[in-house]
Amino acid sequence: MSWSRPRSIASAPFELAAKEPILLFCAGSGWHSARWFEGKWVDSATLLQELVPTHWMPSPPSIVPLRTSHQETSTRVNYQRFFQTALDGLVTEQRYRIFADLERVAGKFPRAIWHSPQGKRDIVVWCSNDYLGMGQNPDVVEVMASTARALGTGAGGTRNISGNSHPVVELERELADLHGKEAALVFTSGYISNQAGISTIAKLIPDCLILSDANNHNSMIEGIRQSGCERLIFRHNDLDHLGRLLCEAGSRPKLVVFESVYSMDGDVSPIGGICDLAERHDALTYLDEVHAVGMYGTRGGGIAEREGVMDRIDIIEGTLGKAFGVLGGYIAASRRIVDAVRSFAPGFIFTTALPPAVAAAAAASVRHLKGSSTERNEHQRTVEKVKAALKNAGLPLMDSDTHIVPVMVGDAQRCRALTDRLLEKHDIYIQPINYPTVSKGTERLRITPTPFHTDADIVHLTRALHECWQAVPADPVPFLQAAE
């Protein structure tokens, strides 16, 4: 939007100026605006004075006259139009997101009720990040319910104001132990733990250079941005590139920020190799294990535990909202780093703590998965079965080293059409993955099997996908036309 300069009223016919919603006039105290009201120009601030206008201001495109019942012409910013324009852009680019209205049914995971426009329907969810179904584990549910009954619902405020609730203290002990670190700090989500953790840690290191993997999650990018530190992006999982950048950086302080499992491709980073480089070049390491905690390693400590390198990572970040099935995020690190983040991170200090019932349920889930590999083993078995079935059916499965099963579509409209058909015709819910979650042209279905999907579910999924792939042509009618 660009404003024109005020023009002298003499430069335009008065009728034209009178049609404009804003009129400027020059008074002893400077420029003022005026509006046309009941046949005369009045000072907008007071609505009292009759004026002789001196200048007029052609209105910018986003300002439109508003007619009142008195046929008054007034100047109003059309705020709604800003939002509508932004949303229209998403629809045009086929990226407008539609979320299914679902009701998960405790004890029947991964089954749910879809509140479709035509009424309730039973469906099977194939895209949940409650990877192990712990969100419906009877013990975890019972701990949450009984803690809420015993301690109430909310945390009562920030930890700064209201102190620690005991379940949060216990949860932090469980998490520090899970990752073999001195301490842990819990946040309200994994997103916030990255944003607050990375920004605070980097800010506290003078002249810190951040080296960030090209495929890092948005929460890490926001943390990096918020730190205000210089940053360099290394090519995804490319040790040579990272090594060169570390070498060129010389002796200044450096923080290498990366993930273990990249959740859209399902690939795994070379954690050991990154640790070798970081140690050689004296850099600190920050590892996001959000898509691995609970699922890999003998006790669910993540890929770093599985690879025996947890002690070589300085800061491990995780979520309590995916494989642990609850909500919240955390970092685990040395006592000093954790204390510094606790003391300096606005995203920790100025927000209400996790409710005690949520913390207690998360601790119960972490504890359970430390002692039980049953869920992890069953999960991997189901994943292998799904991959084999889809491959045999000739579907364009992407290579994945993990529990994430991406199927390439490569087109936003087709991706949406496929998932709509899966839901409407086959009672299968898979959310389409479009830009900006993945780059344009790599739109995909992201399938996440769980230990609770049965062999019959896998057959159903495979047949349904096969049918949809035949029925939805590679070049479908545009989304907008199809929706009409």
Ligand X SMILES: Cc1ncc(COP(=O)(O)O)c(C=O)c1O
User: Which residues are catalytically annotated?
Assistant: 322
Q: Is 219 in the site for ligand X (CB under 6 A)?
A: yes
Provide, rounded to whole angstroms, the least separation between the CB of residue 321 and ligand X.
Answer: 4
Provide, rounded to whole angstroms, the least separation between the CB of residue 290 and ligand X.
Answer: 4
Q: Is 288 in the site for ligand X (CB under 6 A)?
A: yes
One-letter amino acid identity for 328? G
d(CA 373, CA 351): 35
Provide, rounded to whole angstroms, the least separation between the CB of residue 327 and ligand X.
Answer: 7
Prior bond to 406 cis, omega within 30?
Answer: no
d(CA 298, CA 155): 33
Nearer to ligand X, 147 or 194 (CB): 194
Residues in the interface with ligand X (CB under 6 A) total: 13
Nearer to ligand X, 167 or 302 (CB): 302
Per-residue interface string for the shown chain with ligand X, residues 187-206, x marking contact by CB under 6 A: --xxx--x------------
Question: What are the φ/ψ torsions at residue 203 (nearest 5 degrees)?
Answer: -65, -35
Dihedral of alpha carbons 238, 256, 435, 194, sign: positive
Two structure tokens written together for 156: 């009562």
d(CA 230, CA 222): 13
d(CA 120, CA 204): 52
Q: Is 406 in the site for ligand X (CB under 6 A)?
A: no
Q: Which of 227, 263, 400, 462 binds ligand X (CB under 6 A)?
A: 263
Distance of CA 349 to the CA centre of its chain: 21
- Cβ neighbourhood burial of 127 (10 Å; 0-12, 13-18, 19+): middle
Q: Is 237 in the site for ligand X (CB under 6 A)?
A: no
Q: What radius of gyration do the chain's Cα atoms show?
A: 28
Q: Which of 123, 202, 290, 362 binds ligand X (CB under 6 A)?
A: 290
d(CA 24, CA 5): 11
Q: Given the rule CB under 6 A, which of 80-88, 186-194, 268-276, 379-387 is the region that contacts ligand X?
A: 186-194
Q: Which residue is nearest to ligand X (CB)?
A: 190
Classified as helix, coil or strand, 31 is strand
Nearer to ligand X, 220 or 407 (CB): 220
Q: Which of 321, 355, 449, 451 binds ligand X (CB under 6 A)?
A: 321
The CA-atom distances, in angstroms, between 259 and each of 199, 227, 229, 332 are 16, 19, 20, 15
Q: Is 297 in the site for ligand X (CB under 6 A)?
A: no
Q: Is 319 in the site for ligand X (CB under 6 A)?
A: yes
Question: E strands along 109-229, which residues?
Answer: 111-116, 119-125, 183-187, 209-213
Q: Is 347 in the site for ligand X (CB under 6 A)?
A: no
Q: Is 462 in the site for ligand X (CB under 6 A)?
A: no
Q: Which of 55, 159, 181, 217 binds ligand X (CB under 6 A)?
A: 217
Nearer to ligand X, 297 or 329 (CB): 329
Q: Is 259 in the site for ligand X (CB under 6 A)?
A: yes
Binding site for ligand X (CB under 6 A): 189-191, 194, 217, 219, 259, 263, 288, 290, 319, 321, 329
